[in-house]
Amino acid sequence: MSVDRMELNRRALLKSTSAAAAAALLFPEGAFAQSRAETLLVVQELGPNSLDMQGVGSNQTVNGLSWNCYDRLMTYGVKTLPDGTPSYDRMKLEPELAESWEVAPDGMSCTFKLRKDATFHDGTPVTAKDVKWSFDRAVKVGGFPTFQMSAGSLEKPEQFVVVDDHTFRVDYVRKDKMLLYNLAVVVPFVINSELAKKHATEQDPWAMTWLKSNEAGGGAYRVESWKPGSETIFARFDAWKSGPVPKIRRIIARDVPSSGTRRAMLERGDADLSTGFPPKDFDQLIKENKVKVVATPIPNCLWYIALNTSKPPFDNVKLRQAIAWAMPYEQIQNNAFFGRAVPMHGGPASVEKAVWPQPFPFTTNLDKARALMAEAGYEKGLETSISLDVGTATVGEPTAILIQESLAKIGIRCTIDKIPGANWRTTLNKKELPIALNRFSGWLDYPEYYFYWNFHGNNSIFNISAYKNPAMDALIDKARFTTDNAEYEQAVKGFVSLCIQDVPIVPLNQPFHDVAMPKNVSGYEFWFHREPDFRQLVKS
């Protein structure tokens, strides 16, 4: 044997010995196989940029951290979709921190009985005072959390009443069918208020600075360590009382920006769960069948083109309609999304169902688009730009290029403006972009909820088309608050019809949420926030 070969063998032996030693340290006392089954390695493109999802600028993965590390009063039940995939059930509420609840006979309040044995991660008992402080915070911090609470008519601290240590009441300002369901989304999580208040100041009464980098919950998992941009480790909270103790003892969530690397780790068995691959990769993974892919059309979600209705040139409805007839729908579906989405074009001419999302009647018809361009006064064309979030470039960039090419055929010359993900939401909120390629998902799966966020003139957060129409507002409000089923259906059909007519957005498709995992990982359930619920997962 050559000296080089001997040296290579020696290094391989040392490497394998070191790996075994590391494994022995991580999983001591002969519990290697069992401990591996109790540890889940998640590889993700981008980890949490904060530990407080109510903080300004918190990203998508913070929602998952909040979901697993904090409790809410209630959660959603689970149902099985037609393809056998488990999913949350938007119509079924189940206990979490609250053991039970009762709506008053007049329908203007709800009283919650809290678990008496629930504690926070530091052992402090959970009381109604913690719930009130947490809810007060949610309606007072401003921004998205406060708007989310208002979507269920939760608007001011006076609505939240401590009856006794384990009894909490919500007083209604109006009857709102979304109120209770809104208490089961991510925002109204319950914080260890005494711990948080120790770090509050006169300038920061809600301890925003401290909670950004410290977790103060009582959920099924606690944050063991957090290295922003690198890794988050969650440890099971064995004293959790709000549900069955999870099977997985430890979660290691590692930030791996390269989708190719994440895919290779999954296929080798070095990682246990990942998402965010290009649609082409998920298409291949399904065909190769090396790992398991769970695919769910995201409820109340659309990829769409938003057109700025508040300023020229897209304040012209004929021009907006022209763009809707010029979209290369089939090319986008096949070449950008590889079929990993539900098409939202080619629907019936009139709105027949009170559902959302639903296909608009537009198809690719360049002759009709050119005729509308002429009617709008832009027969010679125009110049504009299409903006997209760099963080969504995997599907966003090919989609924008296809749109750019198709619009050029009717005389609309577009540049593509790529905006960094960190600046995307701030830029959208300025409402200055002429055309924006965006995706929006509504947590509460109601048509009026989606329209409230995106098209109501009094709501500025996600209405990036700057669309204002009193008739639209009236229909949305009627659908939100009516108790008459016929009136509700009429209102929903009305505002969907108005959206098709006025075209503040052009829907492209309803995307799938694809999650990949080895075949020995089970229990995955789709949730509206699109983050994994670690509490349900099992690894054999």
Summarised one tens digit per residue, pLDDT across range 471-483 is 999 999 999 999 9
What average pLDDT does the segment 518-536 reach? 95
What average pLDDT does the segment 270-279 reach? 93
- What's residue 539's pLDDT? 93
- Cα–Cα distances (Å) from 58 to 236, 262, 278, 326, in that order, read 23, 23, 24, 36
What average pLDDT does the segment 179-198 reach? 97
| pLDDT classification of 309: cutoffs 50, 70, 90 | very high
| Cβ atoms < 10 Å from Cβ of 403 | 27
Phi-psi category of residue 377: left, alpha or beta, with phi > 0 → left and psi -120 to 50 → alpha: left
Residues 523 and 502 occupy one common structural domain: no
Q: What percentage of the chain carries pLDDT values higher than 90?
A: 85
Give the residue, 340 or 19, on which the prediction is more confident: 340
Query: What is the residue-averaged pLDDT of the chain?
Result: 92
What average pLDDT does the segment 274-301 reach? 94
- What's residue 58's pLDDT? 87
Residues 224 and 356 occupy one common structural domain: no
Residues 409 and 319 occupy one common structural domain: yes
| pLDDT at residue 405 greater than cutoff 90 | yes
Type and span of the H or E element at 440: strand 435-441
Residues 357 and 459 occupy one common structural domain: yes
- What's residue 33's pLDDT? 52
Domain of residue 392 covers 301-512
d(CA 488, CA 485): 5
d(CA 21, CA 29): 12
Residues 425 and 405 occupy one common structural domain: yes
- What's residue 13's pLDDT? 39
- What's the pLDDT tens digit per position in 485-524? 999 999 999 999 999 999 999 999 999 999 999 999 999 9
Is the CB of residue 90 less than 8 Å from the CB of residue 299? yes
| pLDDT classification of 319: cutoffs 50, 70, 90 | very high
d(CA 186, CA 48): 15
Is the CB of residue 126 less than 8 Å from the CB of residue 114? yes
Three-state secondary structure call for residue 355: coil
Residue 290 lies in a domain: no
| pLDDT at residue 12 greater than cutoff 80 | no
- What's residue 494's pLDDT? 98
Of the listed ranges 32-46, 195-209, 304-318, the one predicted with least confidence: 32-46
- Cα–Cα distances (Å) from 73 to 48, 88, 95, 526, in that order, read 24, 16, 7, 20
| Start-end of H helices in 28-175 | 32-37, 60-69, 128-140, 143-150
Residue 480 sits in a domain of what CATH number? 3.10.105.10
- What's residue 71's pLDDT? 98
Residues 375 and 438 occupy one common structural domain: yes
Residues 324 and 471 occupy one common structural domain: yes
Residues 246 and 338 occupy one common structural domain: no
- What's residue 474's pLDDT? 97
Residue 37 lies in a domain: no
480: exposed, middle or buried (Cβ count in 10 Å: 0-12, 13-18, 19+): buried
Residue 106 sits in a domain of what CATH number? 3.40.190.10
| pLDDT at residue 270 greater than cutoff 70 | yes
| pLDDT at residue 2 greater than cutoff 50 | no
Residue 436 lies in a domain: yes
| pLDDT at residue 400 greater than cutoff 60 | yes
Tokens of 45: 């493109």
By residue count, the chain amounts to: 540
Residue 166 lies in a domain: yes
Residues 385 and 420 occupy one common structural domain: yes
What average pLDDT does the segment 339-350 reach? 96
Residues 471 and 522 occupy one common structural domain: no
What average pLDDT does the segment 185-190 reach? 98
Q: Which amino acid is at 408?
A: A
| pLDDT classification of 459: cutoffs 50, 70, 90 | low
Q: Are strands 292-297 and 231-236 parallel, antiparallel or unpaired?
A: unpaired
Q: φ and ψ at 24, to 5 degrees?
A: -65, -35
Is the CB of residue 241 less than 8 Å from the CB of residue 91? no
First-residue to last-residue Cα distance in the chain: 42
pTM: 0.87
- What's residue 83's pLDDT? 82
Residue 3 lies in a domain: no
- Cα–Cα distances (Å) from 492 to 59, 443, 449, 450, 484, in that order, read 31, 18, 11, 11, 12
Q: Which of 65, 260, 185, 76 is nearest to 443 (CA)?
A: 185
What average pLDDT does the segment 31-58 reach? 85
Is the CB of residue 150 less than 8 Å from the CB of residue 173? no
Residue 111 lies in a domain: yes
Contacts of 214 (CB under 8 A, 6+ apart): 51, 199
Half-sphere exposure of 70 (CA within 13 A, CB side): 30
Residues 397 and 527 occupy one common structural domain: no
| Start-end of H helices in 166-314 | 179-182, 193-197, 208-212, 259-268, 279-288
d(CA 213, CA 489): 45
- What's residue 30's pLDDT? 43
Residue 72 lies in a domain: yes
What average pLDDT does the segment 447-474 reach? 92
Count structural domains, the chain.
2
d(CA 10, CA 182): 61
| pLDDT classification of 393: cutoffs 50, 70, 90 | confident
| pLDDT at residue 205 greater than cutoff 90 | yes
Give the residue, 25 or 55, on which the prediction is more confident: 55
Q: Which amino acid is at 468?
A: K
| pLDDT at residue 7 greater than cutoff 70 | no
Is the CB of residue 196 less than 8 Å from the CB of residue 210? yes
| Cβ atoms < 10 Å from Cβ of 27 | 16
- What's the pLDDT tens digit per position in 351-388? 999 999 999 999 999 999 999 999 999 999 999 999 99
Quickly count helices (H) and strands (E) in the chain: 18, 20
| pLDDT at residue 322 greater than cutoff 70 | yes
| pLDDT at residue 18 greater than cutoff 50 | no
| pLDDT at residue 10 greater than cutoff 80 | no
Give the position of tokens 């407080």: 52
| pLDDT at residue 100 greater than cutoff 60 | yes
Tokens of 149: 């609470």
| pLDDT classification of 22: cutoffs 50, 70, 90 | very low
- What's the pLDDT tens digit per position in 216-235? 999 999 999 999 999 999 99
Residues 365 and 414 occupy one common structural domain: yes
Residue 196 lies in a domain: yes
- What's the pLDDT tens digit per position in 142-155? 989 999 999 999 99
| pLDDT at residue 19 greater than cutoff 60 | no
